[in-house]
A and B are shown apart, each in its own frame.
Chain A
Amino acid sequence: MQRSIHRPHLLARPVVVALAAAVALTASACTKSEDDGSDKQKSSASADTEQKVVTPKAGSKTCTIDAYGAKKIDLKNATVGFSQSEKEANPFRIAETQSMKDEAKKRGVKLLTANAQSQFSKQISDVQDLLAKGADLLVIAPLNSDGWEPVFKAAAAKKVPIVTVDRKINATACKDYVSFIASDFVEQGRRAADQMIEATGGKGEVAILLGSAGNNVTTERTKGFKERIAEKAPDLKVVFEQTGDFAREKGQQVTEQLVQSKPGIKGIYAENDEMGLGAVAALKGAGKKAGAVKIVTVDGTRNAVNAIVDGWISGVVESNPRFGPLAFQTLDSFTQGKEVAEDIIIQDSAYTSDNAKQDVGKAY
């Protein structure tokens, strides 16, 4: 599955570099426009890869446009603003932004996008920019959970409904924002634990490569994993928990220390694919054989699913980043005056050696 990326274009290079310098100088100052030439092959969003919603429990809260206090509009004639939190430098963010663009194109809706480059103050001004540019509806992938009051005020003044995706904002649903669409990170942790129990036979010592500190994704994926282990496999002991900062190199370095100080380690739970692939690199470097240490990761990127096929990773719990269809569907129902759920939880799938080969095309 290696993309052929080393196509030499002798003359094109200096131009790319000159452009690069120019773009870098202005990148922090301006909001990106809709079509910044992203990789089109990534956007093969078939119905198969679309997010599916967990059937809501009876009595779960819903929101309508009357309760929220906005005007009915036709989504087709509306302008949607999308505020992305982190740079599109990892597969999750790339797939997420691409999915928003694809769905907007499919529905013929005008989409404005902005990227906060992991700076919260920039995200606040990004959203205010989007409002100023005439966004009628907002989809926000929040960097932080708190500190959104200025945005809510500005949006409320213009009666612009907000849908948040992938991370939750600490505020009142159906008042400050309409709905929150995301995966259940605790559930992802539980399912990773299930895979780990199956791979190791429920006995032995396992390690956790934690995500970045102070991040709700890290906390919840850890919580779910530990809960399920304690409940189902008390003979499986978590003996090592160190952060790999969601990065491959850090995952590699930490795993190198791990396999030396605890050579008997049975499994490694990596809270994202990149750290898991770093662990694979470390195990290869230490001369281990594929499958000697069971690795379970969360995300579902193509590289990780391929590593299942190669036997290095035992299982990958998916965290589906393709929020476009669901976000637009929610906005569509809402603006028509229909009821929408306040918390929309996605049904994530999983990859194991049983389905990795045939489903690798679904990975992002």
Chain B
Amino acid sequence: MAEATVRTAAPLDKARILQWLQTYGVYAGVALLLIVNIVITPHFLSAENFRTQAVQVAPVIIVALGMALVIGTEGVDLSVGAVMALAASVLALYLGYGLLPALIAVALFAAVAGLANGALVALLGVQPIVATLALMVGGRGIALVMLPQLEDLHNPSLASLGSGDIVGVPYLILIAAALAVLIAFVVRRTTFGRQLLAIGDSRPAAQLAGLPVRRVLMVVYVVSGLLAAVAGVLATARLQASDPTSLGNLMELSAITAVVVGGTPLTGGRISIGGTVAGAVLIQLLTATLIKHDLPPSWTQIAQAIVIVCAVYAARGRGKR
């Protein structure tokens, strides 16, 4: 009897630990990296440094927020990097009319891109990975046709968007923070958020329950496209140049990593926005640590892979509800 109890108790504890790791592991990881850096990295503990890390991670967070919504519906959006490039191209082309008209044009393009993804997934029932792959490849192509090479931008409003601040906090950080709060609110407190999670949990069940499955999915992909465009605009503003060739390269992978490491399961039905933000910060700190200590760039990739494997392992204990 005693033996049997031990045997059943052990896996339970393991499952509990895994569950804790999946939910809080990413915060623990961020805390650990912060402590390690404060101890070993010269000049780490400075406002200037934290500002740099936050500014660099802001576009990743913004893209990852959209990715979290998509993954919450048991989908994935591979086109986010291409949409960033598209945003950069459109911004450069329309900047002659002024910043606001250019931003409206960018939003229109991004919404169309998102609609295209959404239509394929929601109306035609194409697998999200395939549907968004098309735009991932084609989107950058279109961006490059519109703007074949890097172009310097000399718009004062755009420059101040990229480098300005309010009492020392850069606009980029404020925008990313505001969007994170907004998306978290949508997920937790709105009907739309609940419908989204219900669809991710089980699309057939959501359909049977009479939820507007197609409409919700369309909106989710449009939001993901719009957020990617915001990130593209901010990155372009910071660089003061539109670079459709390399802007947003591999961003889809960074965003998916942030979401998964942050404890949102790829199987849908559950979203952690706090975890997603922390996941992006974790990867940023990891990269910064390795760069600051001048370790070979290949180490960064290996370290990221290890973090992903840990996250996926932690997620193993908890699939669909």
Contacts and interface: CB of A to CB of B under 8 A. Distances in A.
Interface of A: 2, 5-8, 13, 16-17, 19-21, 23-25, 27-28, 87-91, 94, 210, 213, 239-243, 245, 247-250, 252-254, 256-258, 260-261, 263, 274, 277-278, 281, 285-286, 303
Contact of A257 (B46, B52, B92): B52
Given A8-B96, A258-B291, A281-B238, 6 more contacts: A5-B96, A90-B149, A90-B150, A90-B245, A247-B245, A277-B241
B146 A20 contact: yes
Contacts of A252: 238-239
Nearest to A90: B149
Nearest to B48: A260
Contact of A261 (B42, B94, B146, B152): B42
Residue with the greatest number of chain B CB neighbours at <10 A, chosen from A7, A256, A274: A256
Contacts of A245: 246
16 contacts: A20-B142, A25-B138, A89-B244, A90-B149, A90-B150, A91-B149, A94-B149, A240-B294, A242-B294, A248-B241, A250-B246, A257-B288, A257-B291, A260-B292, A274-B150, A278-B239
Residue with the greatest number of chain A CB neighbours at <10 A, chosen from B56, B150, B235, B247: B150
Q: How large is the interface on B (under 10, 10 to 19, 20 to 34, 35 or more residues)?
A: 35 or more
B144 interface: yes
Contact of B43 (A89, A239, A260): A260
B96 A24 contact: no
Contacts, number: 109
Given A13-B93, A24-B141, A213 B297 contact: yes
Contacts of B243: 247-249
A20 B148 contact: no
Contacts of B44: 261
The 4 A-B residue pairs with the shortest CB-CB distance in the complex, in nearest-first order? A6-B96, A24-B141, A261-B292, A247-B246
Contacts of A24: 138, 141-142, 145
Interface string B38-69: 00011110101100100010000000000000
Given A8-B97, A249-B247, A285-B163, A27 B141 contact: yes
Contact of B145 (A5, A20, A248, A277): A20
Nearest to B239: A249
Given A6-B95, A249-B239, A249-B243, A23 B52 contact: no
B292 A2 contact: no
A248 B294 contact: no
A278 B150 CA distance: 12
B152 A303 contact: yes
Nearest to A256: B52
Interface of B: 41-44, 46, 48-49, 52, 56, 92-97, 138, 141-142, 144-146, 148-152, 154, 163, 235, 238-241, 243-247, 249, 288, 291-294, 297-298
Given A241-B294, A249-B239, A88 B148 contact: yes
B85 to A, nearest CB: 11
Contacts of A254: 291
Given A20-B146, A249-B243, A242 B297 contact: yes
Contact of A17 (B144, B146, B151, B154): B146
B93 A257 contact: no
B286 to A, nearest CB: 12
Contacts of A17: 142, 146
A87 B235 contact: no
Contacts of B49: 260
A27 to B, nearest CB: 6
B245 A87 contact: yes
Contacts of A247: 243, 245-246, 249
A253 B52 CA distance: 9
Contacts of B96: 5-8
A241 to B, nearest CB: 7
A272 to B, nearest CB: 12
A89 B144 contact: yes
A37 to B, nearest CB: 11
Contacts of A253: 56
A118 to B, nearest CB: 10
Nearest to A207: B294
Contacts of B292: 257, 260-261
A281 B239 contact: yes
Nearest to A87: B144
A23 B46 CA distance: 49
A17 B94 CA distance: 12
Nearest to B146: A20
B246 A249 contact: yes
Residue with the greatest number of chain B CB neighbours at <10 A, chosen from A19, A25, A257: A257
Given A7-B96, A13-B93, A252-B239, A89 B148 contact: yes
B46 A260 contact: yes
A16 B105 CA distance: 14
A6 to B, nearest CB: 3
Nearest to A254: B291
B82 to A, nearest CB: 11
